[in-house]
Amino acid sequence: MVFECVSRSRTAGLFTLVLCLIGASIARADWPEFRGPRGDGTVSAPGDNKPIGLPLTWSEKENVKWKTEIPFKGWSTPVVMGGQIWLTTATPDGKAFFAICVDAATGKIVFNEQLFRTDNPEPLGNNVNGYATPSPAIEPGRVYVHFGVYGTACLDTATKKVLWQRQDLPCRHFRGPASSLVLFENLLIVTMDGVDVQYTVALDKLTGKTVWKTDRSVVFNDAEGFQGFAKEGDLRKAHSTPLIVDVDGKPQMFSPGAKAAYAYDPRTGKELWKVQFIAWSAAPRPLFNQGLSLMITGSGATELWAIKVGGQGDVTKSHVAWKCTKSVAKTASPVIVDDLLYMVSDDGFVSCLEVATGTLVWKERIPGKYQASPIYADGRLYFANDQNTTTVLAPGRTFKVLATNTLDSGCMASPAVDGKALIWRTRTHLYRIEAAATDGK
């Protein structure tokens, strides 16, 4: 998800500089958004023979450089750049919303300020989500934080001053906000799939002003099946984060919603194609590989669909290459290494599939329940459960456990990488997990 350093925005000179800096930051293996520098959960290129040096094993007494308690509650993935780690949190009652900046070297909290407040937050309606689940996005000089309908803001990473903020993007989340922010060219893209309205909006990242807004085009019919959910509107909402990729020299943005998944032109918001299904509450982030957009449908009929890109309009009957219907990840996003896709279901079944055909290579169970998305780094797959255990697997056509590691608490947030360190957010703390330096290294 890297585009050439050529300006395509109205602010040509500044934008060119920003893109070049972003390209440099990706090369330094920063973690600029949910799912990392490529948006796909990978930080080292498949086949790269140069190891990062991430630790294989850790515990509360091993390879923990620092451990910092994070106040209140939040499941957002930390973002990392320029020696800073940014994350969000909120009071459990959903009335106050905070941005936090942690020094990446020491673990010291250098900024912890309330950005938004509401006296009447909507109850979550479940015990899984929270009010600070959407992950921030960061680029040189700026960090963007998002709490759904409760507020979106841009801060200067040096001064920590708020540059702009919005609290006028309507949406009744019902189960809490979850879709994370995406930066693209001069835009900050925000997904708002609620029970009342469903749309994607692009904001000018310099000013916060709306550039385009596109409503979901699917026609809802709550009376058709799953009547038990119709009164509350579950059938209309979703929680996924879009993925922007290059398709034949042009950007496409893949975005699962309720009852349909879409491809848009991220520069204009124009809908390019869609597929329709019966599921809702899609959460995992899409992937793109071998000309296929890989998207998980959501609750009710949780399936992984591989969709051939390049179509127009409704391509449900013409462009779905294959479907996986068993042990599909409902919450955690999948990850692809070489020609194989790995995903973990909420109840801990890890499946390995061939991307091209959907053929199951193997399926095995690992301990625990899973909300956090796995990452691939240093030739390893890291799966963190929501109790206290991380299982490290070797990628490949044979199931192989490399290590099992435990901390005091489990993960609802997905991990990040900073250089040779894993940045791990548990329910209560933020960790820098890094092997101790040895002489001569």
CA-based nearest residue to 162, from 174, 152, 150? 152
Q: Which residues contact 296 (CB under 8 A, 6 or more apart)?
A: 256, 282, 283, 284, 286, 302, 303, 304, 305, 328, 329, 330, 334
Task: Point out the least confidently predicted range of 51-55, 112-116, 207-211, 257-261.
Answer: 51-55
**Alpha carbons 296 and 238: distance in angstroms, whole number:** 11
- Average pLDDT on 344-363 reads 98
Contact 284, 294 (CB under 8 A): no
Predicted confidence (pLDDT) per residue in 38-49, tens digit: 999 998 755 566
| pTM for this prediction | 0.91
Q: Which residues contact 9 (CB under 8 A, 6 or more apart)?
A: 15, 185, 186
Who wins on pLDDT, 409 or 50?
409
**What is the DSSP code string of 34-72?**
TTTTTTSSBSS-TT--S-----S--BTTBSEEEEEE--S
Predicted confidence (pLDDT) per residue in 4-21, tens digit: 233 333 333 343 334 344
What is the pLDDT, as a whole number, of residue 294? 98
Dmax (CA) for the chain in angstroms is: 68
Burial of 406 (0-12, 13-18, 19+ CB in 10 A): middle
Contact 199, 216 (CB under 8 A): yes
Query: Distance of alpha carbon 421 from its chain centroid, rounded?
Result: 19
* Token pair 């990473």: residue: 157
Banded pLDDT at 51 (limits 50, 70, 90): confident
**Alpha carbons 17 and 11: distance in angstroms, whole number:** 10
Contact 210, 167 (CB under 8 A): no
**Alpha carbons 157 and 136: distance in angstroms, whole number:** 13
What domains are there in the chain, each with its CATH number? Answer: 12-220+228-433 (2.130.10.10)
What is the pLDDT, as a whole number, of residue 133? 97
Number of Cβ within a 10 Å radius of residue 330? 20
What is the pLDDT, as a whole number, of residue 46? 56
Predicted confidence (pLDDT) per residue in 118-129, tens digit: 999 998 877 789
**Alpha carbons 257 and 239: distance in angstroms, whole number:** 8
Strand, helix or coil for residue 159: coil
CA-based nearest residue to 80, from 417, 344, 396, 328? 417
> What end-to-end distance do the CA atoms of the chain give, in Å?
32
**Alpha carbons 335 and 362: distance in angstroms, whole number:** 15
Who wins on pLDDT, 266 or 14?
266
What's the mean per-residue pLDDT of the chain? 90
